[in-house]
A and B are shown apart, each in its own frame.
Chain A
Amino acid sequence: MRFGVVVFPGTWSDCDFHYVISEVIRQPVKYVWHRERNLADLDCVVLPGGFSYGDYLRAGAVAGRSPVVEALPEFVAGGGVVLGSCNGFQILCEAGLLPGALMRNECLQYRCQSTHLLVENAETPFTRALRPGQVLTMPISHGEGKYHADPETLRTLRAHKQVVFRYATAAGEVTRAANPNGSVENIAGIVNEDGTVLGLMPHPERAAESAMGGTDGLQIFHSLLGSLVEDGAFLKR
């Protein structure tokens, strides 16, 4: 499975993703500069965390209109999958590839901590190695991760099972106390209607080796590889 890790000016998790893909799951991977429009040789594009373009104007706003992001709808239509973590999630929302928006944490603090995530949809290419109700542990690191969507959008998200992860307790209870940033309905990660674009605030690449304090993030990578092996459904290229 060929991965491309997008690098914007100000991206900071690109090396972590590259390392996990090349050294932990041992798949072909290359960096993709933000001006690139040709993604034809890739199966999965990763938008890593960081502060693309300094997050000027709004987090992910400028990156959301960059050449590589403008090429994503065609890439996805052609069978590619896109994983956006942290700033990558903000960029996907700003670009309109995912519904809703991310705004300043309700607590006003930058939150860098471990979180528990309740798996709600295990039928996406990113989560099929998991089961619904399972609880994963992954770190977050952001100041603007409060997910917002209007009631109509939330209804659509529910109807299409687009909410993939919610912030929860270690026992899997979705509570206000377990919500680190004030996200509506504790939403931590969503997919598009087809399930081929995932955005999440937590960092799976920072929970991919036991030396990092956990390996739950690897499940997302393993799910992607499993999807490829089992049916290749999302890989038409």
Chain B
Amino acid sequence: MRVRVLVRLKPGILDVQGAAVQRALAGLGFDDVRELRVGKLVEVDVDAPSAERARARVDEMCRRLLANTILEDYTIEAEAAERLAPPGAVR
């Protein structure tokens, strides 16, 4: 079961990396960007009998390692495999 985890800095925590990227975009003429925040995408292929079970396992993974919940929030999305990577992508 393929599961996608999005890890993001919590709202209110200053994202200096996002701010730098936003400034770079402004330098390219994209001065209409109101806010930009950079996060992480983790793709997990987990051996599980059901989507619920896969989600529960990945939730545990997030709490124990994948996210630092002092700084970060995470969301878990169970997805069909073809949605995770473009056809022909090297894994």
Contacting pair B65 A57 (CB below 8 A): yes
Find residues 9-32 in chain B having any chain A CB closer than 8 Å to their own CB: 13-14, 16-17, 20
Chain B residues whose CB sits within 8 angstroms of the CB of A61 once the complex forms: 65, 68
**Which residue on A lies nearest to B17, using beta carbons?**
A104
Find residues 79-115 in chain A having any chain B CB closer than 8 Å to their own CB: 93-94, 100-101, 103-108
Question: Which positions in A face B, CB cutoff 8 Å?
Answer: 57-58, 61-62, 65, 93-94, 100-101, 103-108, 148-150, 182
Q: Which of B17, B66, B70 has the most CB of A within 10 A?
A: B70
Question: Which positions in B face A, CB cutoff 8 Å?
Answer: 13-14, 16-17, 20, 64-66, 68, 70-71
Contacting pair A101 B71 (CB below 8 A): yes
Contacting pair B66 A57 (CB below 8 A): yes
Measured in the bound complex, the distance between the Cα atoms of B72 and A94 in whole Å is 13
Interface majority SS on B: helix, strand, loop or mixed? helix
Q: Output the least CB separation between B63 and chain A (Å).
A: 11
Contacting pair B16 A101 (CB below 8 A): no
Question: Beyond the given A94-B68, A104-B17, could you list 12 further A-B residue pairs with CB under 8 A, ordered by the A residue number?
Answer: A65-B64, A65-B65, A100-B70, A101-B70, A101-B71, A103-B71, A106-B14, A107-B16, A108-B17, A149-B70, A150-B70, A182-B16
Measured in the bound complex, the distance between the Cα atoms of B68 and A104 in whole Å is 14
Query: Lowest 10 A-B CB distances belong to which pairs?
Result: A101-B70, A101-B71, A108-B16, A104-B16, A101-B68, A106-B16, A108-B20, A58-B68, A65-B65, A103-B71
- Known contacts: A61-B65, A65-B64, A65-B65. The answer to whether A148 contacts B17 by CB under 8 A is no
Q: Output the least CB separation between A48 and chain B (Å).
A: 21
Q: Output the least CB separation between B43 and chain A (Å).
A: 14
Measured in the bound complex, the distance between the Cα atoms of B66 and A94 in whole Å is 11
Contacting pair B16 A148 (CB below 8 A): no
Measured in the bound complex, the distance between the Cα atoms of B64 and A150 in whole Å is 20
Chain B residues whose CB sits within 8 angstroms of the CB of A100 once the complex forms: 70
Contacting pair B71 A148 (CB below 8 A): yes
